[in-house]
Amino acid sequence: GAVVSQHPSRVICKSGTSVKIECRSLDFQATTMFWYRQFPKQSLMLMATSNEGSKATYEQGVEKDKFLINHASLTLSTLTVTSAHPEDSSFYICSARPFAGTNNEQFFGPGTRLTVL
């Protein structure tokens, strides 16, 4: 149980384009999903907390107009990187916290490696 999928696993795009990443909890419901970014040899950096049916909460320094988050259902959250630039190239990872879970466990998707040319 507690499987989280993420799509696509890898994307290469041109500078100025937008990229959408999907995160799905496959066998549980998740009222809260999280989006992280990880640069090489660094730890995970929380970008935003996505709550089903409400606006996402962004961490300090993360531009909400650049990183659009939509949590449309209890099993799906999307992150759209708008007008991507080379500095946005990174490993984007989502996680989900089970609706019925206790103790704040989070389960991670496999990640999306974004390369902006």
Task: Tell me whether residue 18 or residue 42 sits nearer to other proteins (CB atom).
Answer: 42
Specify the DSSP class assigned to residue 101.
-
Task: Tell me whether residue 14 or residue 43 sits nearer to other proteins (CB atom).
Answer: 43
Token pair 């659009």 in the structure block, residue: 68
Contact positions vs other proteins (CB under 8 A): 32, 34, 42-44, 46, 49, 93, 95, 97, 103-111
The answer to whether the beta carbons of residues 79 and 94 sit under 8 Å apart is yes
Shortest distance (Å) from residue 15 CB to other proteins: 24
**Residue type (1 letter), 51:** N
Task: Tell me whether residue 13 or residue 44 sits nearer to other proteins (CB atom).
Answer: 44
Shortest distance (Å) from residue 73 CB to other proteins: 20
Task: Tell me whether residue 82 or residue 101 sits nearer to other proteins (CB atom).
Answer: 101
For residue 20, what are its two tokens? Answer: 């959408």
Shortest distance (Å) from residue 52 CB to other proteins: 15
**3-class secondary-structure state, position 13:** strand
Rounded to whole angstroms, how far apart are CA atoms 30 and 112? 20
Specify the DSSP class assigned to residue 15.
T
Shortest distance (Å) from residue 16 CB to other proteins: 27
For residue 72, what are its two tokens? Answer: 């449309």
